[in-house]
Amino acid sequence: MIKSTLLKAVHAGAEQLQNYFGKKFTISHKEGINNLVTEADHASEKAIIETIKKDFPAHIILGEESGEIISSSDIKWIVDPIDGTVNFAHGIPLCCVSIAVEKQGEIFMGAVYNPLLNELFFAEKGFGATLNENKISVSDQTQVIKSCLVTGFPYTYLDMPNGPLNVFEKLIRQGIPVRRLGSAAIDLCWVAAGRFDGFYEHKLEAWDSAAGYLIVEEAGGKVTDFEGNKFSPYQPHILATNGKIHDELRSYVDKNNF
């Protein structure tokens, strides 16, 4: 039942994304330059929440735009109605709906759907990961120097040791290709699909990473914080790789190695 509702919810959000994409809509700003929210984000989140509440009225829902709807349930839905809002606002089709389901602090199901590229990623804990119902797996690359990586930068730059620009510079000065797509959820899914060998980012929220994190792990990859600890979407740092380059890439991002 939860899987059915999850898929209905991502499609409901994606329908709103498609309805607004490439058209004129209201845009406002959150904290930081170019940290946008559009009427499409609100419409998508509303459609998602209504879908979830219809089937599970007592469940907790954490949405990027509406905050947390609290109840006594031990199941929480973590919702990003449009991940990659800046891309979306500029007509760039690298944006998606991302929803994860958590029970007692553990993510056990997640879906990321980009209807503009017709890519639906899904994972259930212990059952692997799929793209459009076809099983996916991470890459076999064993060296960072031969890897293709992806990252993102926070809207409000954090003045930290070994921050985003420091790490980026260290990698690109060695000639390692590092991309920036503008959607952490897509970044994670593309690691899961073997398109990228690794992804790191210094500051994400739970709705950015919760679904993609599970999809990477179920595709055979590894996800931790920068110090190699078990990943939690409620802390800001993420390192997601095919597992084979994980320790080597972590040596670049761990502030203790700066």
pLDDT tens digit string along 11-27?
Answer: 999 999 999 898 776 76
Check 41, 64, 187, 217 and give the catalytic one.
64
**Residue 135 bridge partners (DSSP):** 130
**Residue 109 bridge partners (DSSP):** 101, 124
**Could you tell me where in the chain the CATH 3.30.540.10 domains are found?**
2-135
Q: Is the pLDDT of residue 132 over 60?
A: yes
Q: Please provide the CATH number assigned to the domain covering 144-257.
A: 3.40.190.80
Average confidence (pLDDT) over 192-203: 97
Mean pLDDT across the chain, nearest whole number? 92
Check 5, 38, 51, 85 and give the catalytic one.
85
Task: Give per-residue pLDDT as tens, 75-120.
Answer: 999 999 999 999 998 999 999 999 999 999 999 999 999 999 999 9
What's residue 51's pLDDT? 98
Q: Please provide the CATH number assigned to the domain covering 2-135.
A: 3.30.540.10
Q: Indicate if 254 belongs to the active site.
A: no
Q: Indicate if 64 belongs to the active site.
A: yes
Q: Indicate if 85 belongs to the active site.
A: yes
Check 49, 52, 82, 107 and give the catalytic one.
82
**Burial category of 120 from C-beta neighbours within 10 Å (exposed 0-12, middle 13-18, buried 19 and up):** buried
Q: Is the pLDDT of residue 258 over 50?
A: no
Q: Indicate if 26 belongs to the active site.
A: no
Average confidence (pLDDT) over 20-36: 67
Q: What angle do CA 135, 207, 93 make, to 5 degrees?
A: 65
Q: Indicate if 83 belongs to the active site.
A: yes
Check 41, 45, 80, 102 and give the catalytic one.
80
Check 41, 45, 208, 218 and give the catalytic one.
208
**Could you tell me where in the chain the CATH 3.40.190.80 domains are found?**
144-257
Q: Please give the model's pTM, rounded to 2 decimal places.
A: 0.94
Contacts of 38 (CB under 8 A, 6+ apart): 20, 25, 26, 27, 28, 82, 85, 88, 89
Q: Indicate if 208 belongs to the active site.
A: yes
- Which range (9-13, 72-76, 107-111, 195-199) has the least confidence? 72-76
Task: Give per-residue pLDDT as tens, 135-186.
Answer: 999 999 999 999 999 999 886 665 677 888 889 999 999 999 999 999 999 9
